Structure 1
Amino acid sequence: MTELPGTAKTLYQKLVETHTVARLDAQNVLLYADLHIMNEYTSPQAFAALTHAGRKAAQPGQNLGVVDHIIPTHPLAIRTITEPHSALQASNLKRNCDFHDIPLFDTNDRYQGIEHVIAPELGMVRPGMVILCGDSHTTTYGAFGALGFGIGTSEVEHVLATQTLVYRLALDMRIHVAGRLPTGTTAKDLILLIIGQIGAQGARGYVVEFCGEAISSLSMEARMTLCNMAVEAGARGALIAPDATTITYVKAHCPDLVGDMLAMAQTDWADLHSDKDACFDLELHFDANEVEPYVTWGTSPDQAIPITARIPQMPADSGNALRHTMERALHYTRLHAGDGVEGLPVDVVFIGSCTNARIEDLRAVAAIVKGRYVAPAVRAMIVPGSGEVRRQAEAEGLAQLFIDAGFEWRQPGCSMCLAMNDDVLSPGQRCASTTNRNFEGRQGRGAITHLMSPAMAAAAAVTGRITDVRKLGAQA
């Protein structure tokens, strides 16, 4: 990334520039972090190293701890982590946060939830911020015009000690999406289409800025879904310039932003866009009008097709790397080139994760489920993204609708997204999932994951098979 005083800048360049403490060399800067989020899974070694060095967190109030990956989601009023290793991770996070005076959303905290769900809903995420976390889906915050990205354990230690990060600059990519999403499709379908076309490494080394009519017409929750999954194309970050939709959301979730403080913030936010003549290293164009409901067929998010399509044929060359990848994926998912995914029976439906467990997602599920019932022999579970989402769904009558239809209505957490607790699929089980990754064993050893939107997952739950949600429609 090159930048000269007075020249047009991209949004990414502006965010880096305003957070650069020092320029280390042509490709690296010391970057200041406005917010650093930690979970029980990726922080223990960092805290141990900090203790060994005799240091404390430099800016405790700009750090946050969340128990979310290993927490059980059984629908109990008081939750207890009984698995010994998981319990140790949670207790260590509490001990470390207490010692360093870092706020923590612990197991039974009213606002506990998935880190990338609770931070925006509790008003911690605002345009123009740099947000770090030891989790790859920190790209979610790009929906606000904030630069968010995942970091490693050694970097977590550095951020705790200094509130800064040695950061290698990325390239700039802009993705224009024209038109509007057709009825029955969502931001999840759009991002699966994009990843499917550019590949799992198509944005490697880039921070991606999404723009265009299709993007500006999305809700904030849909934008979070889009940015959340940009990392599945290898992106180092994802951005959407803040607009009226962003500001409305932030004002509703940030009660401290009022009066002169809000006026000053909005003045700053007005410059959070790429300048007209800014140069990008790569620009791509898509048409939202062409989006259909998408489903993955393999073991990578880029192995995705429209519900009306068939799995691609193998390359003829037996030595082709793509052929080898496809053969392995199809062997794992027990499918074949040329197969369709529509009509494929499922054993489990999982609706949750930092990608699709917000109230908007649950409302979309309810629109399909209303007046219908979970198909026999299908286990269907809904794990809200936070305690606040759970309460809102209960207040709106959604939770009771789900329970009456045969869904398990559970407590918030990462749950079956990565099966680090007791929400685990059995070998050979096929799952319709609203999560972000369909890797081998991701939801359980030998389990098969098909990524899709919440509405598509709801359709699978009530029909017992992967179904084009457009054939069902919402119930009146």
Structure 2
Amino acid sequence: MNHSTPRTLSQKIRDTHLVTDTPGGAALVAIDRVFLHERTGASALKSMAAAGRKVRDPSRVFCVMDHIVDTRPGRGDQTLMPGGQDFITETRAAALAAGITLIDVNDPDQGITHVISTELGIVLPGMNLVAPDSHTCTQGAVGAAAWGIGSSEAEHAMATGVLRLEPARTMRVTFSGTLAPGVTAKDMALALIARHGAGGGAGHIVEFAGEAVRALDMEARMTLCNMATEFAAVTAIIAPDETTFAWLAGRRYAPAHFDDPYWRELHSDEGAVFDREIAIDAGAIAPMVTWGTSPEHAIAIDGVVPQGPPGAHAYIGLEPGQTLLGTPVDAAFIGSCTNARLSDLRRAAALLKGRQIAPSIRKALVVPGSSAIKRAAEAEGLDQVFTAAGFEWRESGCSLCFYAGGEGFPPGSRTISSTNRNFEGRQGPGIRTHIASPETVAASAIAGMIADPREIAA
């Protein structure tokens, strides 16, 4: 294999995992890790068993209960979602029968797939990881190739250890400069999507680069990569650096040290050519909030609603020319695989400390991204800050990031949320969602209306 030509990071990972090229340009590549969850895990494992196929290497396959589980204190297999218990019990039985690593409902390691994979060091720089979930791209923040796939593809990866990947174009998104105070990785992602559209990354592996990206801590990098699927990217990746290695070192499935020269080669070569380049001045980004029914319907928090699709205006109840600031909200949500890590909770709690949410807020929830994050937050007293302010403090899970037919917000609620999607009904039938950073959620909950976190923090 000729490596004299400068290569991108994603090309390097493809080359090290390549089994063979196939007619038409697709590649058959080795898969290092497969991660399942209970919404799709049982169907994949049961289908394999019915066909008489076994998991080729159970040590490489992990399964967690995160999507269907309730997040109410004292939870078990019972769920508010009709039939939810069946998802849990069937996945448990199938995972145990297959001999894979199961992280059960009340396991100390339980959490959202894309949170605990990095937290436990299951995904590492240079790996190929697949999971039947569109936000698997989150894990590219550690310098891995992380692919969201379907259940049938997960079966193939588990049975054979390889997977056929279609060719993808490459894109580099470079954020130059320095973020202003009060501006976060969530705002970076929403600014990108607003400027270039929800389909702007279609067919591309996106590498995030630049001074502003290198300045982000690991959890913020995960937020940025998480939102790449809302940009329609195939996946996203950030080159690992000393920040990455220090954060991962010594985690359960990670090495104690990253001193092998291999780790230092995981970056795009100087002179590597990308199919598309996008440059954004990070210093010009303000806190962002969505106004419509797509992540691309996002504007600076002090901006005015632009002209958009009539259906989006009708659903969200905002007309062109209206300001977002001061728009009343009924509910607030801090959680999801996008923004439920410890640093997210710390920043939101810093604004809420000594304050109360507005009486008009009918429901306010904090759902930590993992059980470990929940314990760490409690050790710091963050749970007490949230509950004193009027938020409910929950167990870890995907609760109300997407509506699965169980718990919901009060009918007709306008919600300010740290999640990743504001599609019609995403958080429940008729629920109107504005996505923003955890700080903006906290500020808006205090005000009872969409509010600028910079004003409260001042």
TM-score by length of 1: 0.93
1:255 deviation in Å?
7.2
Q: Which residue of 2 aligns with 1:152?
A: 150
**Counterpart Cα distance in 1 of 2:439 and 2:77:** 29
Q: CA offsets, 1:168-212, max 9 Å, x none?
A: 021000011100110011000010000101101000000001111
Per the alignment, residue 326 of structure 2 pairs with 343
Q: Secondary structure at 1:308's aligned position in 2?
A: coil
CA contact (8 A) 2:225 2:236 kept: yes
Contact 1:71-1:421 at 8 Å conserved across structures = no
Counterpart for residue 141 of structure 2: 143
The AA in structure 2 aligned to 1:123 is: G
Kindly tell me the number of residue pairs found equivalent between the two proteins. Answer: 457
Which has the higher mean CA deviation after the structures are superposed, 248-257 or 87-96?
248-257
Instruction: Judge which range, 425-434 or 146-155, deviates more.
Output: 425-434
| 2:73 is the alignment partner of 1:40 | no
Q: Give the Cα–Cα distance (whole angstroms) in 2 for the partners of residues 425 and 444 of structure 1.
A: 7
Per-residue deviation, residues 21-46 of structure 1 (Å, max 9, x unmatched): 11112420112111110011122332
Specify the alignment match of 1:423 in structure 2: 407
- Contact 2:7 / 2:273 at 8 angstroms: preserved in 1? yes
- The answer for unaligned runs of 5 or more in structure 2 is none
Matched residue SS, 1:415:
coil
Q: Which residue of 1 aligns with 2:268?
A: 274
Paired-residue identity, %: 45
Structure 2 residue aligned with 1:186, among 184, 187, 192?
Answer: 184
Hey, what's the Cα distance between the residues in 1 that align with 2:387 and 2:324? 28
Q: Are the aligned partners of 1:175 and 1:283 in contact in 2 as well (CA < 8 Å)?
A: yes
Q: Tell me how far apart the structure 1 counterparts of residues 350 and 434 of structure 2 sit (CA, whole Å).
A: 21
> Match for residue 327 of structure 1?
310
Asked if 2 retains the 8 angstrom alpha-carbon contact of 1:208 and 1:237, the reply is: yes
Deviation of 1:4 (Å)? 4.9
Equivalent residue number for residue 125 of structure 1 = 123
TM-score, normalised relative to structure 2: 0.97
User: Per-residue deviation at 1:71?
Assistant: 0.5
Residue 309 of structure 1 corresponds to 303
- The answer on 1:445 being equivalent to 2:429 is yes
Kindly tell me: are residues 84 and 466 of structure 1, through their superposed partners in 2, closer, same or farther at Cα, counting changes over 3 Å? closer
Partner of 2:450 in structure 1? 466
Contact 2:77/2:88 (8 A) holds in 1: no
Q: Match of 1:284, SS?
A: strand
Structure 2 residue 379 is the aligned partner of structure 1 residue 400: no
In 2, the alpha carbon distance for the partners of 1:298 and 1:370 equals: 31
CA distance in 2, matches of 1:95, 1:81: 18
Q: Is the contact made by 1:134 and 1:150 (CA closer than 8 Å) also made in structure 2?
A: yes
Asked if the contact 2:6/2:269 (under 8 Å) is kept, the reply is: yes
Query: Does the 8 A contact of 1:415 with 1:421 survive in 2?
Result: no
Residue 368 of structure 2 corresponds to 384
Residue 225 of structure 1: CA displacement?
0.1
How many Å separate the matches in 2 of 1:108 and 1:232?
30
Q: Distance in 2 between matches of 1:126 and 1:71?
A: 27
Secondary structure (helix, strand or coil) at the match of 2:375 reads: helix
- Map residues 251-262 of structure 1 onto 2, 5 A cutoff: 251-254=249-252, 257-258=255-256, 262=258
Consecutive aligned runs of 4 or more in structure 1 exceeding 4 Å deviation = none
- 1:83 is displaced (CA, Å) by 4.5
> In structure 1, what is the Cα distance between the partners aligned to 2:60 and 2:212?
34
SS of residue in 1 equivalent to 2:227? helix
Code of the residue aligned with 1:121 in structure 2: it is E
Distance, in Å, in 1 between the alignment partners of 2:205 and 2:75 is 41
Output the CA distance in 2 between the equivalents of 1:257 and 1:239: 21
* Alpha-carbon separation, structure 1, partners of 2:316 and 2:250: 43
Using the TM superposition, give the Cα deviation of residue 263 of structure 1 relative to its aligned residue in structure 2, in angstroms.
Answer: 2.7
The answer on 1:356 being equivalent to 2:339 is yes
